[in-house]
Amino acid sequence: MSHGFRLSGHRNCPTPTAQSPENRQIRASDANNSKELPSETNGGRYDAVSMIGGNEESLPTDGTATAPDGEQHTGSGLQAERARRSAQIDDIRAAGGEPYPYRFDRSDSLSEIRSRHSDLKAGSDTDDRVSVAGRVMLARDSGKLIFLNIRDRSDEIQLFVSKAVIGDDGFANVKSLDLGDWVGVTGNIMTTRKGELSVRVTECQLLSKAVRPLPDKWHGLSDVDTRFRQRYADLIVNDDARRHFEIRHAIISSFRQTLAGEGFIEVETPVLHVEAGGAHARPFVTHHNTLDMQLYLRIALELHLKRLIVGGMERVFEIGRIFRNEGISTRHNPEFTMMELYQAFADWTDVMDITERLITNAARDAIGSTMLSIRDENVDLADPWPRIQMIDAASEAIGTEIHPSMPRDALTDIATKNDVRVAPQWLPGKIIEAIFEAHCEADIVRPTFITGHPVDISPLSRVHRNDPCLTERFELFVDGRELANGYSELNDPVEQRARFEDEQSAKEAGDLERGTVDEDYLRALEYGMPPTGGLGIGMDRVAMLIAGVDSIREVVLFPTLRPEVMTDES
RNA sequence: GCGCCUCUAGCUCAAUGGCAGAGCAGCGGGCUUUUAACCCGUUGGUUCAGGGUUCGACCCCCUGGGGGCGCACCA
């Protein structure tokens, strides 16, 4: 850690400056900012020179800076830049200022100001005095006039800083701001000659000093590794990154609204499971110390939620993180967010309907339209979504009729002729699914329900009322990706036990993703579960669809990555 | 896990076997209506790491590491 910076005196209490008279002044002005006092708007409480407390103590002007560790740094480079800014912090403190004040009274968000003054003509002045806060994103210095662009969560605005208005000391302090610093300013709304909406700054307070420089102001951050590892920097400089997560938020919010409107109750069920059931996937294993027992992170929400249907809750849903110990790709993150719902007295057709409503509403709420462009095809989510049987799609793709009632050997032959490798333990339904995945899945562009999955790959689904080899199950595919999975829920405890036992023997035969017999779940079913429709939607993939991105990492804030090797230069 | 691609200044990118460069950011100077401001000057490099080939390596080869994409895995 030869280049490690330690700000002196800030690890101990009291700090060396805590006893100084200047510091007591700062404390007093902090009190002026505190919530307990009557909150008058503005009122000149922000000293125009509060950054260095009125003292004309100036920064080194020869381009060198002394880091707190005493090492001299010249020129640029990350370490030199951090040293220069750290030295600025020390100077502010030495002059009795506070580079990291406690709070700031903001009168408006930037978007509020922008909408209030949307019709202001070029070259206008107003009586609208505001206090706004944001991060300095751009700066243009023309001698006795400085233009800064600051940004808050809602928007950006220009600060118009005139030496004649703010005074020499205040002007020098604004000049010493770096891109990335947070500031709070007070002033009147105006427009420049070119019509740019601005705040004519009379007071400027540093709210937080950035010690590390921002990525390129124009190109932003494009190195994907850095973007994901330093998501904070990505969010600061990349508009798209912020937009993707706004969309994600709007989608989840929209789902909650749609579900609340249809009488669903949001619940939370355990993440730590004794048995990881409800899906075919390899789980993460963990351990509880006091109970001294092995636990699994959940791979699905299903079995707990259906226990609640047994309990009579009728309509429940959960939006929660699930974990699957499998490969990572543009479509898979080891932890991801699933929405599952269960509705008593409904069957799979009701569930397909609500799937369309949820996703169409989400698009409308998140991007204001149901029109999407998928692989250069214009898709209106509001159009009805086709419903195609899996066996029909697969049969058509290979030009041969297939059905799970056919002898396994015949299906194996057909699969092999169509370049699908068949594993020895696969049952007929699994072979059909493999043919579908190899020959149909990737070609599906617009939202399409694939229905009627074979019984042997659907241990929790109810048998199709018209075909004993199939189930009343569907999966939703869009752009070659599976987004949702739902079915008429199997509620016969005797049949469910038989299906679980088939799962267990497959697992014991070496198929690690298969399930086990969940005795407590069977006990629940014995109390009687009403006819029920259930649904699971991968929220990350819905967000990918609506945001129009090809990688799940664009809609997961902190995707799973290998640990970074930290160096002095990081 | 396998294959292909990639890693150069804080950021974005050049340099294809012959002196490691530019723009932005930074630093110094100028400019009172700019807006990716502009103008003049200027600092900054373990070219991911280690090894090899060569008179000479960012460049070619080997090993390792990070990342991306594809495959595999993944109802």
Q: What is the predicted ipTM?
A: 0.93
Is strand B in 7 Å reach of the CB of A122? no
What is the extent of the structural domain holding A488? 240-386+446-554
In a domain, A2, yes or no: no
> What tokens does A545 get?
């669809």
- Is residue A556 over pLDDT 60? yes
Same domain membership, residue A264 and residue A193: no
> What tokens does A131 get?
């206090």
Question: What is the rounded distance in angstroms from the CA atom of residue A516 to the CA atom of residue A501?
Answer: 7
Is strand B in 7 Å reach of the CB of A460? yes
Mean pLDDT of A61-78: 47
- For A385-410, what is each residue's pLDDT tens digit? 999 999 999 999 999 999 999 999 99
- What's residue A33's pLDDT? 40
Cβ atoms of A51 and A173 within 8 Å: the answer is yes
> What tokens does A273 get?
């499971």
- The bridge status of strand A72-74 relative to strand A156-162 is unpaired
- What's residue A359's pLDDT? 98
Is strand B in 7 Å reach of the CB of A264? no
- CA–C1' gap, A244 and B69, in angstroms: 21
The amino acid present at A205, given as its one-letter code, is Q
- What's residue A513's pLDDT? 81
Is strand B in 7 Å reach of the CB of A137? no
Cβ atoms of A484 and A447 within 8 Å: the answer is no
**Closest protein CA to C1' of nucleotide B25, residue:** A216
Question: What is the rounded distance in angstroms from the CA atom of residue A323 to the CA atom of residue A182?
Answer: 37
- CA–C1' gap, A484 and B31, in angstroms: 61
Q: Return mean pLDDT, chain A.
A: 87
Same domain membership, residue A368 and residue A516: yes
Peptide bond before A14: cis, by omega within 30 degrees of 0? yes
Same domain membership, residue A248 and residue A208: no
Is strand B in 7 Å reach of the CB of A287? no
Same domain membership, residue A272 and residue A161: no
- For A301-328, what is each residue's pLDDT tens digit? 999 999 999 999 999 999 999 999 988 9
| A48: three-class secondary structure by DSSP | coil
**What's the DSSP call for residue A13?**
S
Question: What is the rounded distance in angstroms from the CA atom of residue A564 to the CA atom of residue A400?
Answer: 51
- What's residue A508's pLDDT? 85
In a domain, A437, yes or no: no
- What's residue A509's pLDDT? 81
Mean pLDDT of A252-269: 98
Question: What is the rounded distance in angstroms from the CA atom of residue A500 to the CA atom of residue A460?
Answer: 9
- For A443-463, what is each residue's pLDDT tens digit? 999 999 999 999 999 999 999
The amino acid present at A198, given as its one-letter code, is S
Report, in this order, helix, strand and coil percent for chain A, each rounded to 5.
35, 25, 40
Which nt sits closest to A229, CA to C1'? B67
Which nt sits closest to A237, CA to C1'? B11
- What's residue A510's pLDDT? 79
Mean pLDDT of A158-164: 97
- Is residue A4 over pLDDT 50? no
Q: How far is CA A17 from CA A9, A94, A204, in A?
A: 8, 8, 23
What are the DSSP E strand ranges found in A142-237? Answer: 145-151, 156-162, 182-191, 197-208
- What's residue A317's pLDDT? 98
Same domain membership, residue A116 and residue A50: yes
- What's residue A394's pLDDT? 95
Nucleotides of B under 7 A from a protein CB: 1, 9-13, 23-38, 43-46, 65-75
Question: What is the rounded distance in angstroms from the CA atom of residue A102 to the CA atom of residue A34?
Answer: 9
- What's residue A515's pLDDT? 87
A195 falls in which pLDDT band (50, 70, 90)? Answer: very high
Same domain membership, residue A205 and residue A261: no
- For A437-447, what is each residue's pLDDT tens digit? 999 999 999 99
Question: What is the rounded distance in angstroms from the CA atom of residue A194 to the CA atom of residue A465?
Answer: 71
Same domain membership, residue A279 and residue A131: no
Same domain membership, residue A192 and residue A259: no
- Is residue A423 over pLDDT 90? no
- What's residue A567's pLDDT? 65
In a domain, A531, yes or no: yes
In a domain, A392, yes or no: no
Highest mean pLDDT pick, A93-97, A135-139, A566-570:
A135-139
In a domain, A432, yes or no: no
For the domain that residue A280 is a member of, what is the CATH number? 3.30.930.10
Same domain membership, residue A291 and residue A344: yes
- For A10-29, what is each residue's pLDDT tens digit? 444 554 443 333 333 333 33
- CA–C1' gap, A562 and B66, in angstroms: 8
In a domain, A116, yes or no: yes
- Is residue A484 over pLDDT 70? yes
- CA–C1' gap, A77 and B32, in angstroms: 33
Same domain membership, residue A283 and residue A135: no
- CA–C1' gap, A217 and B69, in angstroms: 28
Is strand B in 7 Å reach of the CB of A222? yes
Same domain membership, residue A259 and residue A166: no
- Is residue A84 over pLDDT 90? yes
For the domain that residue A63 is a member of, what is the CATH number? 2.40.50.140
Q: Please give the tally of structural domains in chain A.
A: 2
- What's residue A48's pLDDT? 40
Question: What is the rounded distance in angstroms from the CA atom of residue A178 to the CA atom of residue A503?
Answer: 62
- CA–C1' gap, A149 and B37, in angstroms: 12
- CA–C1' gap, A247 and B48, in angstroms: 35
Question: What is the rounded distance in angstroms from the CA atom of residue A565 to the CA atom of residue A387?
Answer: 49
Bridge partners, residue A158, by sequence: A149, A198
Question: What is the rounded distance in angstroms from the CA atom of residue A131 to the CA atom of residue A107?
Answer: 5
Same domain membership, residue A304 and residue A191: no
- Is residue A76 over pLDDT 70? no
- CA–C1' gap, A210 and B5, in angstroms: 36
**Closest protein CA to C1' of nucleotide B6, residue:** A223
In a domain, A420, yes or no: no
- CA–C1' gap, A69 and B15, in angstroms: 37
A2 falls in which pLDDT band (50, 70, 90)? Answer: very low
In a domain, A23, yes or no: no
Is strand B in 7 Å reach of the CB of A158? yes
What are the phi and psi torsion angles at A169 (to 5°)?
Answer: -70, -45
- For A526-541, what is each residue's pLDDT tens digit? 999 999 999 999 999 9
- For A327-372, what is each residue's pLDDT tens digit? 899 999 999 999 999 999 999 999 999 999 999 999 999 999 999 9
